Amino acid sequence: MKLSPTFTSGKMKFMFPTIVDVSERFNEALNETLVGGSDFDVKEMLARFTTDVIGTCAFGLECNSLKDPNTEFRKYGRMVFDASGINSIKRTIMQVPKVAGMLRLAQFNKEINNFFLGIVRQTIEHREKNNIKRNDFMDLLIGLKNNDALDEEKKIKLEKLTMKEVTAQAFVFFAAGFETSSTAMMFALYELALNPDMQEKLRNEINTVYAKYEGRLSYEAMKEMVYLEQVINESLRKYPPAVSLRRTAQEDYKVPNTKLVIEKGTTVLIPAYEIHHDHRYYPNPEKFDPDRFLPEVWKARHPMTFLSFGDGPRNCIGLRFGRMQARVGLAMLLKNYRFEVSEKTPIPIVYSRETPVLSPDEGMFLKIVKL
C-alpha cells in the first residue's frame, strides 16, 4: 500500500514545529556535551536525534534518547539494524522470500515485534478513548484505519487499514525513517567537513534565512534554504541509504532490443548505488557536487537516475518527512557548529558489510566546534 500521498504539504506543516522542538533539545544536549573542540561519532548522535523525532511524530512519545542513549526506543532501533551473527544469515535468507517462507523465518525476533505492537496498540487505544488529536503520523494511520481516505494529490480513494497493517506501517516508518535520515545527515556533514568552502556557503544561506525570519525556523523559512536541499540530495546521491531496491514485476515485460521477458511475479534487484555512480548520468561521480541538483541540471536527467527513496508503489512512505527531518537537523547544526575532519575521521570511508543501510564500518568521527 502506498502511503506517501498522506504526507501532503499541509500535514508536513502540522508536524514541523514538533521537529523544530526536538532539534532545539538536540542543540541543548550537544552544547552540554561539547568541551572546546571535541571528536564525536556523529552517526550515533544523529541516530538519537532522528529516534526522538520519529518517536514523537509517529507514536506521540518522548523518547529522550538525546539525554539517555539507552532508552527503549534507541535500544530497539539498534536491535532492528543489528547484523551480527545469526541476524546476518537471516537477512541473507530473507532476500529469497520463498525460502524464508519455507523455513518460517521472521524478519525480526519476537521481542522487537512485541515491543512495537504493544506501543502501537496502546497509543491507538489511548487516543481513541480520550479523543486525542496530534496531527502526526499516528493520526494519519488511525484515520486510515477508521475511514476510507482520499489521496489528496491524485484524488484516489485509499483502502482502510487493519490494526496489523497500522502496526506494520508505524514500524516501517520508525525503522526506515530514523536510520536513513540519520545516515543522510551524517554523510552530508562528512562531505561538508571535507569541503569547508561548501560548508561556509551553506551556513551563510542558513544564517541569511534565519535573519529574514527573525531568528525562527518556520516551514516557509526552510523552503527557502535551496542550497541545503541540494547538499542533502547530493549526499543521498553519493551515499544512497539502500544500495539496491527489490521490486516484483506486476506484469510481463519485454526488455527493449532484447529477447528477454521478465515474467510477472519475478523479483528484480535494482542497483541504486551503481546508477548513482554511473558517469553517464553523473560525470566524475566520486566528486561531491551539490550543483548536480540545480533545478535545470536535475530536470535534464532521467527521473529514475535518482533512487535514494525508491520509486513506484513501494517507495519510501516517509519521503517528505525524511527530507524535512534532515533539513531541520542540518540547519540547526550548521547554524551553531562547525564540522571539521580529525585524526579519527575515516578517509576514505570503509563501509560496513553487515548493516542493511549504507554505513561506515567504525562510526563517523568529526571534530565539532561551537560557533
Task: Determine the Cα–Cα distance for residues 137 and 169; give it in Å rounded to an integer.
Answer: 10
The set of cell numbers assigned to 304 is 529514475
What is the C-alpha to C-alpha distance for residues 190 and 341, in angstroms, rounded to an integer? 8
- Exposed, middle or buried by CB within 10 Å (0-12, 13-18, 19+), for 216? exposed
C-alpha span between 74 and 80 (Å, rounded)? 10
Identity of residue 115:
F
Q: Is 57 annotated as a binding residue?
A: no
Looking at 60-136, list the stretches that DSSP marks H as alpha helix, in order from N- to C-terminal side.
72-80, 86-94, 97-102, 110-130
Cα–Cα distance between 98 and 101 in angstroms, integer?
5
For 213, how many CA atoms within 13 A lie in the half-sphere containing its CB? 15
How far is it, in rounded angstroms, from Cα 359 to Cα 74? 17
Indicate the annotated binding residues: 316
Indicate the annotated binding residues for heme: 316
